DNA sequence: GAAATCACG
DNA sequence: GACGTACGTGATTTCC
């Protein structure tokens, strides 16, 4: 039986607009911009490659817009009237799209006075009538009207950038209605890009709600009469004609003449000419190589093994860097060597020594670098010049033959001189992990570079739609090398069937492990030069790079916790929650899961009938702290009990239970893992467990801090910056009165209260404090009003007063936003960049969110830079003072925690205070002093 | 896996 | 006033 034909219709014009914004501004050898064309070419390549695969194309055609005029201009003269002209360097790429399509020997359809959407609709319906399946390669919302099935023939869509199929479910998810009603929704909401009016003031949410409720456009418009008085009702009545006109405009024509027959769209193997000529002309050399390697053409790939779906494509670089495409050969895992003799290992070490640069990666038995065993080490000296040295494979099955491998101690002894050699640079990806593993195996490593940190310092925050912004190796390989790495999952499986890396056969393990080193080496070549050209050298070399071994050591130190004390607290909390639960059930008159916000909402606002329940977008009542506090204030006895229950349940599950489990059996201490690339502003983050959110704000929670203790004869010392972010704001925004207040050591919130309200008392100081923080976070009158419990108008008046009193603040905000809009990133005093790709978004909420984050980032980020500088300098300074035995254990954003003999407190305090207070110098000289508060005690709680 | 909630600076 | 209301995080729970 012949396979059912499957027609792919590519919406070419729409694609290149998206590709243009997503890809770097590449140019071909003649200087013609070809970034979007490159993206388009790789997309066609992939589609052609899918010939005869499940759901792949048997027929393929590209539809282009010849002109933007159509029948719609006849009935509505303003149709698409306010479209901005396309970007200058996109214009010369339009004709190249046609060239690219012809290069693939594919039909390219463009008709005068017919829009691509209508042509696509006409072809799709015709194919469907003949019983074919159709996939429209586009993400245009207008085309979603076509999705669905008729007589077993289906039309779906494919968004190649997000690699997502769009079918009925996805359409319903987006519009809240089935595809056939999408036109009705579009008619109500309009489209500012195409200048379709819709109903003024009605957006996608309201539009889909109305259509879903009333079943259709006419019914929704008719229903307006019967609605209660509202803005919406008035508008539906007033703009009815606009909506009806819009309905016609958004309707796709399905009866266009078809200039090419469906049969002529049959997809065959793509002939290598004229494709090769086209690729050569525009400098797409990696694709050209691939074409030659593949004996002539893409398509007809029967190789579905994901391990072999290697690509040699150029980078689809979301990060928007302007580097040339990398000139490396495609990753070829068959070139990797499995090193199984000491002779071979020594040969590699010698070559690494000569090369002066080696990428290194370790493989281990688990993700916990404080507990795992070392299973192997891989090295890379160049592209496809990599090896894997297995050291701990086999062993779980005593009867199976153990693979041949070098003795671990002997191998480490052979590698140690190389790893410690100052003249040989060791490049890692997330080196902190490997440093800890190697340190636990008695091997020190220096000097170190880290491609994960480099990526972060270049591209923090740079993620765009559908493209991750992370700094993981697999993601960076895709983004910068166009290469898909083997995944750990593919190798070891997942869930219950997962096997440890040590049980992976050596040939497979070599492919995976050596690839990681190979990719790290390539990423280093690609990313390191960008630091210099993009201004990242300072922050990388002076702050983040030297921080890696410092943080690694802090993690290895860990901190002692008093297990018995935590266990007692757990029991106490368990008893209390059980008691509260009974009381809550008694008041409610029903047994329910107190921990389920869903059930709780029903109990509060239905069973017990309390008023003022608000449902969020998921249709669930909100029962968060603010709601429960309001209810409690209004005299609901159950609310206070629930609040108390919540607090205790949280403390038990997140802290007293979890921390006991986090104690490392080998060291008896808790070792967190800090991420140096977790927070876009440059802060660290802490996981497994998170030691940056241990309770302190409530008395009951503070007991948990008492369980973090010092060793016998030692104390914990906590040193924290006082009001560092406000101090930095005073400096950066240049506010004389605030700077003076800090210089005088005044209470800053009290000073603000005097400036704002003329007097200071508990109330005005509290308000001033709230306003001060609001400023740091990017303010809105609604947000401030909500916090202060006043109307937005009143909040706005306060903001105005604040800006009047401290005009520098407003100037800072305006200047910062202008700069971010212009350059795309914000910058700290030390030159750390954070990117804000959504700062120009048309979506107001999204844009304003970016704006608030952009106002905050330089302040939060500068504070992060300062404490990082202090951390880097801390141990050398202590050592110089004969205090090298003092251990730095924790960092909590503006606080450092140390462990030291009680006798050394005075001497260490002096050094710590000096290093922290002077951490900005000499790179930056602040107009405000940095205050440091220090406390000591046998527990962390007592040190505050 | 998402959503809701809450712990921290 | 379409949307939602302060910045940055991570962990746990319930529920689909």
Specify the nucleotide whose C1' lies closest to residue A857 (CA): C7
pLDDT, position A845: 86
| Per-residue pLDDT at A302 | 31
Residue indicated by tokens 């040339």: A324
- Residue A326 confidence (pLDDT): 59
Q: For residues A373 and A30, what is the distance between their CA atoms, to the nearest angstrom?
A: 54
Same fold, A333-556 and A567-670: no
Exposure of A849 by Cβ count < 10 A (0-12 exposed, 13-18 middle, 19+ buried)?
middle
Checking DSSP bridges between strand A448-450 and strand A560-561, what pairing results, if any? unpaired
In CATH, the architecture of A333-556 is 2-Layer Sandwich (3.30)
> Residues 669-728 of chain A: which lie with beta carbon within 7 Å of strand C?
675, 678-681, 683, 685-690, 692-693
Pick the CATH number of A724-859 from 3.90.1150.10, 3.40.1410.10, 1.10.150.20, 3.20.20.70: 1.10.150.20
State the nearest residue by CA to the C1' of C5. A783
Tell me the domain boundaries of chain A. Answer: 6-168+254-265, 333-556, 567-670, 724-859
Residues 6 or more apart from A476 whose CB is under 8 A from it? A429, A451, A455, A523, A527
User: Which pairs count as long-range contacts for A844-849, CB under 8 Å and 24+ apart, including other chains?
Assistant: A848/A780
- Measured CA to CA, the distance from residue A610 to residue A601 in angstroms comes to 10
Residue A687, pLDDT score: 95
Q: Are the CB atoms for A709 and A669 separated by under 8 Å?
A: no
Does residue A272 lie within 7 Å of nucleic acid chain C, judged by its CB? no
* Residue A860 Cβ < 7 Å to strand C: yes
Tell how far CA A241 is from the center of its chain: 44
What pLDDT sits at residue A174? 84
A196-253 pLDDT, tens digit per residue, is 888 888 888 888 888 988 989 999 899 888 887 777 888 888 889 889 999 999 999 9
Give chain B positions with protein CB within 7 A: 3-9
User: For strand C, which residues in window 198-217 of chain A come within 7 Å by CB?
Assistant: 201-206
Is the omega angle on the peptide bond into residue A922 within 30 degrees of 0, that is, cis? yes
Quote the pLDDT of residue A231. 79
Question: How far are the Cα atoms of A142, A523, A721, A831, A860 from residue A681, in angstroms, in the given order?
Answer: 38, 23, 18, 12, 7
A80 phi/psi in degrees, rounded to 5 = 55, 25
CB A819 within 8 A of CB A808: no
pLDDT score at A320: 41
Do A143 and A121 form a contact (C-beta atoms < 8 A)? yes
CA distances from A294 to A284, A300, A305, A625, A725 (A): 16, 10, 16, 62, 58
Nearest-CA residue relative to C1' of B9: A893
Nucleic strand C contacts from chain A, 890-919, CB < 7 Å: 893
Answer yes or no: are the C-beta atoms of A328 and A334 closer than 8 Å: no
A810 sits within 7 Å of strand C by its CB: no
Nucleotides of C under 7 A from a protein CB: 1-16
Burial A781-819 (b: 16+ CB within 10 A, else e): beebbeebebeeeebbebbeebbeebebbbebbeebbee
Strand C and A786 CB separated by under 7 Å: yes
What's residue A294's pLDDT? 59
Place of tokens 């606002």: A605
The answer to whether the Cα torsion of A634, A637, A638, A640 is positive or negative is positive
d(C-alpha A44, C-alpha A267), whole Å: 12
**Which regions in chain A score pLDDT beneath 50?**
295-297, 299-325, 465-466
- Residue A305 has a pLDDT of 31
CB under 8 Å to A220, separation ≥6 — which residues? A184, A188, A210, A211, A213, A214, A236
A136, β-bridge pairs: A9, A157
Work out if A593's Cβ lies within 7 angstroms of strand C: yes
- Cis ω for the linkage preceding A689 (within 30 of 0): yes
What's the rounded Cα separation, in Å, for the pair A15 and A906? 66
A613 close to A597: Cβ distance less than 8 angstroms: no
Does the domain formed by A567-670 have CATH 1.10.10.60? no
CA atoms within a 13 Å half-sphere pointing along the CA-CB vector of A57: 30
**Dist CA A605 CA A342 (whole Å):** 73
- Closest nucleotide over all strands to A696 (CA to C1'): B8
Tell me if A581 sits within 8 A of A649, measured CB to CB: no
Cβ contact A866 with chain C strand, < 7 A: no
Structurally, at CATH architecture level, domain A6-168+254-265 sits in 3-Layer(aba) Sandwich (3.40)
Question: What confidence score (pLDDT) does residue A467 get?
Answer: 52
Which H helix or E strand runs over A776? helix A762-777
């Amino acid at each position: 039986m012949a396979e059912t034909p499957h027609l792919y219709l590519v919406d070419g014009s729409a694609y290149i607009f998206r590709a243009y914004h997503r890809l770097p501004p590449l140019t071909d050898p003649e200087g013609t911009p070809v970034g979007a064309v490159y993206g388009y070419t790789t997309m066609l390549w992939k589609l052609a490659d899918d010939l005869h695969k499940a759901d792949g194309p048997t027929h393929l055609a590209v539809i282009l817009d010849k002109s933007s005029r159509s029948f719609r201009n006849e009935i509505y003269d303003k149709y698409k009237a306010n479209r901005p002209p396309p970007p200058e360097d996109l214009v010369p790429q339009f004709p190249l799209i046609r060239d690219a399509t012809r290069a693939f020997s594919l039909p390219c359809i463009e008709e005068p006075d017919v829009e691509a959407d209508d042509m696509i609709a006409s072809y799709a319906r015709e194919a469907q009538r003949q019983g074919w399946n159709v996939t429209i390669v586009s993400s245009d919302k207008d085309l979603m009207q076509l999705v669905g099935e008729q007589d077993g023939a289906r039309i779906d869509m494919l968004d190649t950038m997000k690699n997502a199929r769009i079918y009925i479910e996805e359409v319903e998810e987006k519009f809240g209605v089935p595809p056939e009603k999408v036109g009705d929704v579009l008619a109500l909401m309009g489209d500012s890009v195409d200048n379709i009016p819709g109903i003024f003031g009605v957006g996608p949410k309201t539009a889909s709600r109305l259509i879903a409720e009333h079943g259709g456009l006419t019914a929704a418009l008719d229903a307006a009469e019967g609605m209660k008085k509202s803005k919406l009702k008035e508008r539906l009545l007033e703009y009815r004609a606009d909506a009806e006109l819009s309905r016609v405009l958004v309707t796709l024509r399905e009866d266009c003449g078809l200039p090419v027959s469906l049969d002529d769209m049959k997809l065959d193997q793509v002939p290598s000419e004229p494709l090769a000529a086209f690729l050569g002309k525009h400098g797409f050399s990696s694709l050209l190589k691939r074409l030659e390697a593949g004996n002539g053409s893409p398509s007809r790939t029967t190789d579905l093994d994901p391990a072999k779906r290697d690509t040699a494509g150029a980078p689809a670089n979301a990060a928007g860097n302007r580097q040339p495409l990398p000139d490396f050969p495609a990753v070829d895992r068959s070139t990797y060597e499995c090193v199984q003799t000491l002779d071979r290992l020594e040969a590699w070490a010698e070559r690494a020594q000569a090369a002066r640069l080696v990428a290194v990666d370790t493989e281990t038995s688990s993700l916990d670098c404080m507990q795992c065993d070392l299973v192997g080490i891989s090295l890379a000296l160049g592209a496809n010049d990599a090896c894997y040295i297995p050291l701990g494979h086999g062993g779980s099955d005593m009867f199976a033959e153990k693979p041949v491998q070098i003795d671990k101690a002997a191998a480490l002894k052979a590698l140690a001189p190389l790893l410690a050699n100052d003249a040989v640079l060791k490049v890692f990806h997330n080196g902190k992990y490997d440093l800890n593993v190697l340190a636990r195996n008695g091997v020190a490593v220096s000097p170190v570079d880290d491609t994960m940190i480099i990526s972060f310092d270049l591209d923090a925050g740079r993620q765009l739609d559908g493209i991750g912004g992370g700094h993981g190796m697999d993601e960076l390989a895709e983004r910068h090398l166009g290469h898909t790495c083997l995944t750990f999952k593919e190798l070891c499986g997942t869930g219950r069937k997962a096997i440890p890396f040590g049980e992976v056969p050596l040939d497979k393990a070599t492919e995976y492990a050596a690839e990681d080193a190979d990719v790290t080496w390539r990423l280093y070549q690609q990313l390191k030069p960008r630091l210099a050209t993009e201004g990242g050298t300072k922050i990388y070399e002076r702050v983040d790079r030297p921080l890696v071994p410092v943080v690694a050591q802090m993690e290895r130190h860990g901190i002692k916790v008093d297990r018995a004390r935590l266990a007692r607290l757990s029991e106490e909390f368990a008893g209390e929650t059980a008691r509260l639960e009974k009381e809550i059930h008694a008041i409610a008159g029903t047994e329910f899961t107190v921990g389920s916000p869903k059930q709780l909402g029903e109990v509060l606002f239905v069973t017990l009938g309390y008023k003022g329940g608000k449902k969020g977008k998921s249709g669930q009542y909100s029962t968060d702290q603010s709601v429960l506090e309001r209810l409690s204030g209004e005299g609901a006895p159950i609310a206070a009990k629930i609040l108390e229950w919540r607090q205790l349940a949280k403390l038990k599950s997140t802290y007293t239970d979890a921390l006991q489990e986090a104690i490392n059996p080998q060291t008896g201490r808790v070792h967190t893992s800090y991420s140096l690339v977790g927070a876009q502003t440059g802060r660290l983050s802490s996981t497994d467990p998170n030691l940056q959110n241990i309770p302190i704000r409530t008395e009951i929670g503070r007991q948990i801090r008492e369980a973090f203790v010092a060793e016998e004869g030692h104390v914990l010392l906590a040193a924290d910056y006082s009001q560092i972010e406000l101090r930095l704001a005073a400096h950066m925004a240049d506010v004389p009165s605030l700077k003076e207040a800090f210089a005088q050591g005044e209470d800053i919130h009290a000073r603000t209260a005097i400036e704002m309200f003329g007097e200071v008392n508990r109330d005005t100081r509290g308000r001033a404090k709230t306003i001060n923080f609001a400023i740091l976070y990017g303010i809105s009158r609604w947000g401030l009003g909500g916090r202060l419990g006043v109307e937005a108008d009143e909040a706005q008046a306060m903001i105005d007063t604040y800006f009047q009193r401290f005009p520098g603040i407003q100037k800072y905000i305006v200047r910062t936003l202008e700069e971010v809009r212009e350059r795309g990133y914000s910058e700290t005093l030390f030159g750390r960049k954070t990117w804000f790709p959504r700062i120009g978004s048309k979506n107001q909420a999204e844009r304003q969110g970016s704006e608030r984050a952009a106002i905050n980032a330089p302040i939060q980020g500068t504070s992060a830079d300062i404490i990082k500088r202090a951390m880097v300098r801390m141990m050398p300074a202590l050592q110089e003072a004969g205090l090298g035995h003092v251990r730095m254990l924790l960092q909590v954003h503006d606080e450092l925690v140390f462990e030291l003999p009680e006798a050394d407190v005075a001497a260490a305090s002096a050094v710590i205070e000096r290093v922290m207070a002077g951490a900005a110098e000499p790179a930056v000289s602040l107009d405000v002093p940095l205050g440091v508060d220090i406390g000591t005690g046998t527990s962390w709680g007592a040190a505050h």
